[in-house]
Amino acid sequence: MPSIYTAVATASGDGRNGHARSSDGVLDVELATPKEMGGAGGATNPEQLFAAGYAACFHSALKGVARQGKVEIRDTAVTAEVGIGDNGKGGFGLEVTLAVEIGGLDQAAAEQLVEAAHQVCPYSNATRGNIPVTLETTVA
């Protein structure tokens, strides 16, 4: 697959407690292990960054699929919840819930649009078959 864009970021420091910076400097954040995982908290963490990226990407896919299908939608938002836990194999695993809000459609049409977005979103394609992703659609 030829890439049309490549994001580059570097993490440094003490694992989950450190710093992450994109090559262009636009993303420049301190990292900290969440309190729930025994850390101090007070800074962002990889799961928050993944959640923000997935939510934004899925929202873009949703808008694109609607535009392509000439479906009028309004008041849209995507919230990604990224959970981390023991995978039972000596490591950690992720799970994602995408809560999608859509106005202007009935429930069935909204769910169909969300499923279509799930098929084209790069994050969804990357996670499919690797981690559980739950889609929740709410008509606003």
Strand partners, 97: 81, 134
Question: In which residue ranges of the chain is CATH 2.20.25.10 found?
Answer: 1-44
Question: In which residue ranges of the chain is CATH 3.30.300.20 found?
Answer: 46-139
What integer pLDDT is reported at residue 76 of this predicted model? 98
**pLDDT tens over the chain, length 140 residues:** 899 999 999 999 998 999 999 999 999 999 999 999 999 999 999 999 999 999 999 999 999 999 999 999 999 999 999 999 999 999 999 999 999 999 999 999 999 999 999 999 999 999 999 999 999 999 98
Q: Are 62 and 47 in contact (CB under 8 A)?
A: no
CATH 2.20.25.10 fits 1-44, yes or no: yes
Give the containing element (helix H, strand E) for 8.
Answer: none
46-139 falls under which CATH superfamily? K homology (KH) domain (3.30.300.20)
What integer pLDDT is reported at residue 1 of this predicted model? 84
